[in-house]
Structure 1
Amino acid sequence: MKWKQIPLGPLQTNCYVLVKENKCLIVDPGGEEEKLLSYMKSEQLIPKGILLTHAHFDHIGAVDKVREYFNIPVYIHEKEADWLVDPKLNGSQLFPVGVLIQTKRADKLITKEETITIEEFSFQVFETPGHSPGSVSFYFATEGIVVSGDTLFNGSIGRTDLPGGNHEQLLNSIHEKLLTLSEKTLVLPGHGPITTIGTEMDVNPFLNGF
């Protein structure tokens, strides 16, 4: 599986396009749908779904435009199903981003940790709350990749001062769900550069001494 990191939207949120042959999954299309669509067209990709690690405004800004263009389903954890339609819950009402973000409801609700298969793609869903109540990470075991959203970053962790955030819960999520993966596992975070589980175990200052 190949992948492409495309920073999008007002906070340059990392959108990921995960590719097998000419089919793909899109993770967290945060905005600038023209930029994303242009890439998809140039690569002649056929998307099969949109995966959302959580529903903060900077991760969902282009959801409807991309979903409608390709007629594909959107997946999100049930705890944040209402966040898609409520600017107060998704944070766009609280931050001066210039527009209130509202999308249609998700097509598929994630209700538990499970393995999801979408045509050629198979991945595990880890519930990793703390940054937000319905935060999830997507683990592609065969490829050794975990898409961590705003749970774990290169040298940092997700903020927990937003509504629904919980610092202790976030650290538990990281240690119990992510740091149990192979140290070689590639971490694709919601912001900033990629990293590995091993690197974060060794040098992430927020994880030392927990």
Structure 2
Amino acid sequence: MENVFKDAIIPLASLMNGQRQDISEHVYGLQVQIVNVYFVRNRNTDDWVLIDAGMPRSDRAIIKHAAEIFGPNHSPKAIILTHGHFDHVGSITDLITYWDVPVYAHEQELDYLTGKASYPKGDAEVEGGLVSSLSPLFPNHGINLDNHVHPLPDDHSVPFLDDWEWIATPGHTDGHISLFRELDRTIIVGDAFCTVKQESLYNVITQKHEISGPPKYFTTDWEKAEKSVQKLRELEPHFACPGHGLPIHGEKLTADLQHLTAHFEKIAKPEHGKFVD
């Protein structure tokens, strides 16, 4: 299992880099450079899982904060991936080596996680800002996790998290998923939608709040992406944990999701690009 990102240096970081947030009961978020990972404890046991694996070279920060939250030498039971883009699996091989835990993802992501396929390169044609222009330079190759990675259960349960379920939210990638806990209506949405305009370098650095769809430069199916956002809005969530941007809750979340679904074509979908035309 080779660390294909060991030489990857992505010189982007927000003002929230390294900051942790308590979001809802037993859910904690950590921003590593420009993306969020989430630590989720099982409400009925002392087990916990990590959602996504951050940017390349962020393993030390993730391990440090995990120890602060759960205590030293308390490994997660698993790592759950919302999808396999580089900023969500950048430190996965180092984390697996350190913790020796299984990884779970949607079956349609497995080719990208077993070295059989690579994602399309980022689309610099989409409008929005400098990050879009730089996106073709971002890593797009698949990684090979060998027998460490497994498909998520067909019954939509989440391994080691009794009161969570996974929900298919394709569009950004074919096998993109979100996670939902009905008890307090918390959703972890990966890149199904963002709370920052991810295409704009200024917005990414300042983390200026702006409800947005999935990152335009990597999203391959806009019809599915729109349906996925509608599905998440219909869950009537109270807490939302995005992959990009700050977590949001309550009336602001409700209003933002209503606005996004009502104006998805204008807010989220680019006017042109290789995945639009």
Please say whether Structure 1 and Structure 2 have the same fold, judged by a TM-score greater than 0.5.
yes
- Per the alignment, residue 125 of structure 1 pairs with 166
Q: In terms of mean alpha carbon deviation, does 18-27 or 140-149 score higher?
A: 18-27
Distance 1:87 1:95, change over 3 A: farther
Letter in 1 for 2:29: Q
Deviation at 1:132? 0.9
Letter in 1 for 2:109: E
TM-score (norm 2): 0.64
Distance 1:190 1:49, change over 3 A: same
TM-score (norm 1): 0.82
1-structure distance, mates of 2:140, 2:108: 24
- Per the alignment, residue 48 of structure 2 pairs with 24
- Per the alignment, residue 80 of structure 1 pairs with 109
Deviation string, structure 1 residues 147-175 (Cα, Å, up to 9, x no partner): 0000022211103553x611121111111
2-structure distance, mates of 1:16, 1:5: 4
Alignment of 1:156 onto 2:156: no
Letter in 1 for 2:149: D
- Per the alignment, residue 119 of structure 2 pairs with 89
Distance 1:127 1:197, change over 3 A: farther
1-structure distance, mates of 2:137, 2:94: 22
Distance 1:70 1:61, change over 3 A: same
- Per the alignment, residue 195 of structure 1 pairs with 248
Distance 1:113 1:209, change over 3 A: farther
Alignment of 1:114 onto 2:156: yes
Deviation at 1:55? 0.7
Question: After TM superposition, what 4+ stretches of structure 1 lie above 4 angstroms from structure 2?
Answer: 97-101
Deviation at 1:115? 2.1
Larger Rg: 2
- Per the alignment, residue 179 of structure 1 pairs with 233
1-structure distance, mates of 2:120, 2:38: 20
Distance 1:67 1:91, change over 3 A: farther
- Per the alignment, residue 223 of structure 2 pairs with 168
Deviation at 1:116? 2.8
Deviation at 1:200? 4.3
- Consecutive unaligned residues of structure 1, counting only runs of 5 or more, are none
What SS class does the counterpart of residue 165 from structure 1 fall into? Answer: coil
Distance 1:129 1:55, change over 3 A: same
- Give the aligned CA root-mean-square deviation in angstroms: 2.8
Distance 1:117 1:74, change over 3 A: closer
Deviation string, structure 1 residues 170-204 (Cα, Å, up to 9, x no partner): 111111x2111134x21100011112375344235
Contact preservation (8 Å) 1:181, 1:197: no
- Per the alignment, residue 15 of structure 1 pairs with 37
Contact preservation (8 Å) 2:188, 2:241: yes
Contact preservation (8 Å) 2:239, 2:249: yes
2-structure distance, mates of 1:98, 1:117: 29
2-structure distance, mates of 1:74, 1:117: 10
Bigger fraction of residues in strand: 1
Deviation string, structure 1 residues 8-39 (Cα, Å, up to 9, x no partner): 25xx2101111247532101111310111112
Contact preservation (8 Å) 2:120, 2:140: no
